[in-house]
Every structure is written in C-alpha cells, then in structure tokens.
C-alpha cells in the first residue's frame, strides 16, 4: 500500500481536495438497500420505497437546503467546513464553476409549514480529470488514457435517526450508478480517517479497495491524522502498477513469514 503526504488544513482548503468522508462521529450504515430509479447529475425529485421510517424525497441539493446542509455536516463531521463550501454546494458547483454531483434524502415539512425540508442524508462528489490527478497513481497508464475522468466523494452523511436503515448505502449506490453511466470514468475514490473502522468496513463491503495511506491528511483541533485512500474501479478502469507492486510485496512478505514460521515450528 502506497504512502504519501497530503494537505491537512481542511477548514480553509479547497473542499474538493481535503474533505473528510464518513468521519468518526458518523455511524455508517450497512449495505442492503438498492435504488429503484436511475440517478443522474440532473436527478429529479421522487419518492422511493425502502426500509426507512417514512417515504423520503430524493433530489439534488437546492438553495433552500443551505441551513440543513450545514447542520448535518456539523452533526456528523469533526472537520469544520467554511461557509463558502455550503454556499457553493447548494448551487451544485465549486467556487470556480466546476459542477458537483449531489443527492439528498429529505423529509418535506407537513403542510401548511413553509420550513425547508429536513435533510436526513446527503452525498456530494465531483468528476475530476484523471490526468490532473495522475500523481496519485490511481489508474494504470493504459486506462489513464481511456478513462479521462475519475469521481471523488467529498462527503457522505446521514442523521442519527436514519442510521442503520440502509440510507447511506442507497445514496452511495446512486453515486456509483451516476459515475458508471459515464463511460469515461474509470474509478470512484475517497479518503477516510484511519481510525474510523465503521466507515472502513462500510466501503470495503461496497467493493472499495484500500490503495494508499496519506500521512497527516487531516488537521482536527490542532492534531494531525492519517487517512486511507479507497478506490472502486469501474468501466474497465485498472489500478496502477505501483499499487499492485505494493500489494504483491505485502503478499510476498507474508509468504516469507509463513514459510519461516513453518520451518521454525518443525525445526526444518
């Protein structure tokens, strides 16, 4: 597994690069739900049936979600995002105009209330240029040319009362379906703090592979934390040889250790 340095000033940096996915305070949901409609970057509102408390409306972020979006991020993440992140997210763009993919699950208020819908879960991501991020060695040189896009998951969160309902898996699958529908996209990737075992199990259960460890990636309350970088390869995308070499090296070391242990045990 590769190891490299990454920026850790999350609060003021470009959220595309430094945002946390499923941090320690987020109780990540087990998989098990499946989407009943095809998502896209222009997802329309709609109610789906699944194992949740009430019927939820699924749609993109809208301007009216600004306060609710900040609320769920402050509830779930130890990282504090600046106001610009939320201002741009509800417009589904970054500060420089690059589009975002967002999908939220929300409960509309009962009539005649005019309160904004309550967000119970959200996922935010963006297509990136695979060439621009080639230094991360996520794709092999051959698939780097045939897959000019990669998708980065910026945040995925659910409110406490919607954890362990399958909502996080549902939102993740919507994003994966959106990424897979674009044949130019070769992978979906994200960062997760190294001690967030529930998030690690969640992503591994959903097919993501750990490919690197980023030293000091997060700075939370003045303390640096490492992150793991996880990838899900899609549309024929393949991992880089550098990552495969790291995995093969670990396998070889384990085989040597096992061989040594057997010889020592039997005095061979």
CB 21 within 8 A of CB 192: yes
Answer whether residue 259 shows pLDDT above 80: no
Give the CATH class of 2-265: alpha beta
Instruction: Output the pLDDT for position 233.
Output: 96
Tokens matching residue 145: 């040319």
In angstroms, the CA 230 to CA 260 distance is 32
Whether 57 has a pLDDT exceeding 50, the answer reads yes
Q: How confident is the model at residue 96 (pLDDT cuts 50, 70, 90)?
A: confident
Summarised one tens digit per residue, pLDDT across range 184-220 is: 999 999 999 999 999 999 999 999 999 999 999 998 8
Dist CA 193 CA 229 (whole Å): 9
With 50 as the cut, is the pLDDT of residue 232 above it? yes
pTM above 0.75, yes or no: no
**pLDDT given at position 199:** 92
Tell me the C-alpha distance between 48 and 109, whole Å: 17
CA nearest to 33, candidates 161, 163, 132, 169:
169
C-alpha distances out from residue 100 to 132, 154, 234, Å:
17, 10, 19
Higher pLDDT, 18 or 96: 96
Which tens digit of pLDDT belongs to each residue from 16-44?
333 343 333 333 332 333 333 333 333 33
Q: Nearest 5°: phi and psi at 65?
A: -90, 0
Q: What is the mean pLDDT of the chain?
A: 78
Mean pLDDT of 92-105: 89
Task: Kindly report, residue by residue over 123-141, the tens digit of the pLDDT.
Answer: 999 999 998 888 888 998 8
Three state DSSP letters for the chain: CEEEECCCCCCCCCHHHHCCCCCCCCCCCCCCCCCCCCCCCCCCCEEECCCCCCCEEEECCCHHHHHHHHHHHHHHCCCCCCHHHHHHHCCCECCCCCECEEEEEEECCCCCCCCCCEEEEEEEEEEEECCCCHHHCCCCHHHHHHCCEEEEEEEEEECHHHCCCCHHHHHHHHHHHHHHCCCCEEEEEEEEECCCHHHHHHHHHCCCEEEEEEEEEEEECCEEEEEEEEEEECCCCCCCHHHHHHHHHHHHHHHHHHHHHHHHHCCC
**Residue carrying the six token digits 């779930």:** 76
More confident residue, 22 or 242: 242
């Amino acid at each position: 597994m590769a190891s490299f340095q990454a920026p850790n000033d999350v609060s003021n940096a470009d959220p595309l690069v430094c945002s946390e996915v499923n941090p320690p305070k987020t109780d990540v949901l087990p998989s098990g739900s499946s989407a009943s409609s095809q998502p896209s970057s222009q997802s329309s509102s709609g109610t789906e049936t699944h194992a949740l408390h009430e019927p939820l409306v699924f749609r993109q972020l809208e301007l009216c979600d600004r306060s609710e979006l900040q609320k769920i991020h402050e509830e779930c993440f130890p990282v504090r995002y600046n106001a610009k992140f939320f201002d741009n997210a509800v417009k589904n763009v970054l500060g420089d105009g690059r589009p975002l993919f967002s999908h939220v699950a929300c409960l509309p208020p009962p009539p005649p209330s005019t309160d904004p819908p309550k967000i119970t879960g959200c996922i935010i991501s963006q297509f990136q240029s695979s060439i621009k991020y080639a230094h991360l060695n996520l794709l092999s040189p051959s698939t780097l040319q045939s897959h000019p896009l990669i998708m980065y998951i910026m945040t995925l969160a659910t409110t406490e009362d919607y954890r362990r309902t399958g909502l996080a898996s549902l939102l993740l699958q919507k994003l994966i379906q959106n990424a897979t529908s674009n044949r130019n996209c070769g992978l979906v990737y994200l960062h997760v703090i190294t001690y967030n075992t529930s998030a690690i199990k969640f992503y591994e259960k959903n097919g993501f592979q750990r490919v690197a460890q980023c030293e000091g990636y997060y700075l939370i309350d003045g303390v640096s934390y490492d992150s793991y970088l996880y990838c899900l390869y899609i549309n024929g995308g393949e991992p880089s040889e550098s990552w495969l070499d790291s995995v093969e090296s670990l396998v070889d070391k384990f085989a040597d250790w096992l061989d040594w242990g057997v010889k020592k045990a039997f005095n061979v």
